[in-house]
Amino acid sequence: MSETPASVEPSELINKVSTTLTIFLCLYLLFYILTVIGVILTPLGIDYGEGFVLNFALQMEEYGTYYLDIHEAPYTHGAYPPLYTSLIWLGIKIFGVNLYVSRIISVLAVFLTAGIIFLILRSSKNRRLVFIFTLFTFVPYFIMTWTPYGKPDSLATFFSIAGLWIYHKYEKIDSPKRYWAHFFFICAFLTKQNAGAAPVALLVYNLLAEGKKSEFLRNGIIYFGFLSLTCLALNIATQGEFYKHTVLYHKFIMMKPDVAYQSYFYFIKATGIFLAFLFAGICLTRQLSLFMIYFFVTFIFLATIGKPGSNLNYFIEPYLALIIVSFFMVDYFWKQGSNPMRLLILMFLFIATIQLSNANHFSSVIKNLDYQKTPSYQKYESLKTVFAKIPGSVLVNNPSHAVLFGRKLWLQPFQFSHMAKHNLWDPSPIINGCYQGQFAIVVWGVWLEQVPGLKKALQSQYVLYDQQNMIYIHKSLIDK
């Protein structure tokens, strides 16, 4: 973006309004920190994925891998590549089995990403505006609620943006250090296999930017070369299971176009002001940048939110990409504009803050700090009491309900219910185990209900023990 100096110094009113906005955004940062504390204090997995990611780390300890044969018990699907899981494995080796480690890794990744965004934006001399846009990292409802969970999205996004920052920084001085970006891109892929927007954006940028055609070939060879070697090594080490788990067993879960459409509508509505800044800037400057392409690639990749099991965590990367690229457009308008225009920009940023928020979340944050009164804590105490009384194997809807109590996870019901419907997996060993009393306790839920034949076995062989928490006990244990 051109560095045209401002023709007018910011007025005292502009300074006061921007200070007020900064304080307002700092309050959102405070609420984010309070949300993180509430999540970390929550003893059970809030999101379904937290428990099975923790279980992957336990399987690494037991089997040396979590890419197991899906036709043999335990029936688990290694949905993610191994980097994030390996970090959790190191954590539980030191601190024991818990969800704190995975959640802290995710939160640290968010703060590191905010730091990288600050480094990207600080090329502008408008430090207040840089700080404001960096604080926007923590504002959205989907950032507040989803990034503290023990899932790989935050870490994968950090690696992607860090890689782009390295390339952007060293490309300007024609330094070979820019190729270290690919190390971070590969780390992003090894954290979450669909984290490919950043390298795709880089290659598109090389194709479209003047004089970058040779860079396209060079970057393509480096990225795909090292990525192929890494995947080949993992596939050989796991006897082909790495490919099956991270690619093949995802393909049967079909996209839902209506969900993708609704998600796009939500994202556009929530980020509308930033999108308006972006497109207004494109029309006026007619310039193409690496981060602009990155946003559009992430926006296209957002269509994958239509796959069952996806959620608001898919908004994290496109939103942060949008914050970066819209900043440069706002900075351009700020330099070119008068004080009334700057005041209008600040007003729009206030409105954008409100659009990204969810008022109900703020009240729930305060309530969750008293974690011993939360439903999750009460369920934790109920499960602890039941598991202390009754030994034996368990079948659970939420994986954390097993692994946090030292019980083996025999089935990931969400993935395997889909596999059963597509004849990729035979549920009869689990069904027969219910009839034969293999599972002393069943903690029921929506995903177990999707496993063909399981509800009938439950009704035939189990007695409801705790209606509020949907805990069932095998009828053979009732008189004991």
Sorted by where each begins, the domain ranges of the chain are: 12-43+99-366, 373-477
User: Each residue of 31-83: pLDDT tens digit?
Assistant: 999 999 989 988 898 888 999 999 999 999 999 999 999 999 999 999 999 99
Tell me the backbone φ, ψ of residue 70, rounded to 5 degrees. Answer: -70, -10
Residues 191, 244: Cα–Cα separation, whole Å = 17
Q: What is the mean pLDDT for each group of 10 consecutive residues in the chain (480 residues)?
A: 50 90 95 92 89 95 94 93 96 94 97 98 92 96 93 97 97 92 98 96 92 89 97 96 91 80 94 95 86 97 86 94 96 87 94 86 70 80 92 94 94 90 90 93 94 93 92 79
Instruction: Give the per-residue pLDDT at 4.
Output: 44
Per the CB < 8 A criterion, the answer to whether 297 and 318 are in contact is: no
141 vs 343: CA distance, rounded Å? 26
CA-to-CA separations, 433 to 361, 401, 423, 426, in angstroms, rounded: 42, 19, 20, 13
DSSP symbols for 199-238:
HHHHHHHHHHSTT-HHHHHHHHHHHHHHHHHHHHHHHHHT
- Give the global pTM: 0.93
Strand partners, 350: none
Supply the pLDDT for residue 6. Answer: 43
Supply φ then ψ for residue 80, to 5 degrees: -120, 155
Tell me the C-alpha distance between 21 and 128, whole Å.
Answer: 10
Q: What is the pLDDT of residue 7?
A: 47
Which run of H or of E encompasses 471? Answer: strand 471-474
Return the pLDDT at 2.
43
- Per the listing, tokens 């993610």 go with 80
**Structure confidence at residue 1 (pLDDT):** 44
State how far the Cα of 436 lies from the Cα of 224, in Å rounded to an integer. 50
